[in-house]
């Protein structure tokens, strides 16, 4: 099971990183969401929350493929000086909502797994990180419509604070996935520690 959580952690990290140089994305989100789905596929039989996370990751993978092919364009640059369009804001909101569903499923799946193994500290950690991710994501969703009436430059400090909160929440869940791989890799009631089931230019800030 450690390999599953390792893939999830790497998938989250790769999906989070969005670095473009001269318009070329060095780390396409497709790779990250593909790894996420591969890891979650090994966990979906354990509880339905992992299945929710897998379904949300699948939707994000499809959206990422469409974006890679140039058929859709979600997200917008915080540093490019270009005001986001209505379509960009709508697609960003939809992507963020799906992302929150994915993170909810992952954190809740880990929490249920941890409770099954009497790992109360891990369960609390999963719950707290889920709450923080939802609070950050909800704040980001709440402010998006205001960008239709106010310039991005006017809202930039507030947007950057929210973006940093979302970034920190995502990174904390990457760490949670790695912790889960260490602590709940055994059979129920074993307290973890079971055998592993596999092998152990211009930078643009976007949202």
Q: What is the DSSP string of 55-121?
A: HHHHHHHHHHHHHHTTS-----BSSS--PPPHHHHHHHHHHHHHHHHHHHHHHHHHHHHHHHTT-HH
Which helix (DSSP H) or strand (DSSP E) does residue 21 occupy?
strand 20-21
Phi, psi values for residue 25, rounded to 5°: -80, 115
Here the tokens at position 98 are 């799906």
In this predicted structure, what is the pLDDT of residue 67?
80
Q: What's the chain's length in residues? A: 207
Is 51 in contact with 44 (CB distance < 8 Å)? yes
Residue 173's pLDDT is 96
Who's near 36: CB < 8 A, 6+ residues apart?
7, 8, 11, 12, 15, 53, 57, 102
Query: What does the alpha-carbon distance between residue 114 and residue 183 come to, in Å, rounded to a whole number?
Result: 8
Stretches where the chain sits below pLDDT 50 are: 21, 79, 187-207
The pair of three-digit structure tokens given for residue 52, joined into one six-digit string: 């929710």
* CA angle centred on 106, ends 25 and 1, rounded to 5°: 95
CA dist 120 and 56 (Å) reads 27
Q: Where in the chain are the domains?
A: 2-78+85-192
Q: What is the pLDDT of residue 78?
A: 53
| pLDDT computed for residue 207 by the predictor | 46
Please report the pLDDT score of residue 190 as a whole number. Answer: 43
pTM: 0.79
Specify the pLDDT at position 82: 56
Residues sharing a CB contact under 8 Å with residue 150, sequence separation 6 or more, in sequence order: none
| Sequence-ordered list of residues with C-beta below 8 angstroms from that of 25, at least 6 positions apart, any chain | 18, 19, 68
Strand partners, 206: 77
CA 52 centroid distance within chain: 13
pLDDT of 185 reads: 67
């Amino acid at each position: 099971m450690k390999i599953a959580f390792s893939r999830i952690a790497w998938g989250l990290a790769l999906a989070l990183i969005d670095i473009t140089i001269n318009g070329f994305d060095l780390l396409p989100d497709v790779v990250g969401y593909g790894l996420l789905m591969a890891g979650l596929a090994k966990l979906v039989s354990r509880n339905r929350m992992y299945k929710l996370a897998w379904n949300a990751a699948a939707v994000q993978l499809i959206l990422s493929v469409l974006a890679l092919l140039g058929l859709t364009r979600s997200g917008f640059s915080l540093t490019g000086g270009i005001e986001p369009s209505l379509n960009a804001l709508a697609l960003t909101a939809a992507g963020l909502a799906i992302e929150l569903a994915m993170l909810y499923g992952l954190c809740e799946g880990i929490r249920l797994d941890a409770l099954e193994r009497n790992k109360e500290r891990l369960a609390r950690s999963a719950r707290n990180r889920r709450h923080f991710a939802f609070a950050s994501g909800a704040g980001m969703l709440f402010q998006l419509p205001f960008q239709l009436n106010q310039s991005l430059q006017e809202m930039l400090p507030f947007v950057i604070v929210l973006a940093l909160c979302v970034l920190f929440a995502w990174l904390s869940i990457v760490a949670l996935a790695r912790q889960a791989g260490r602590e709940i890799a055994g059979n129920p009631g074993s307290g973890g520690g079971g055998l592993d089931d596999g092998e152990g230019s211009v930078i643009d800030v976007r949202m």
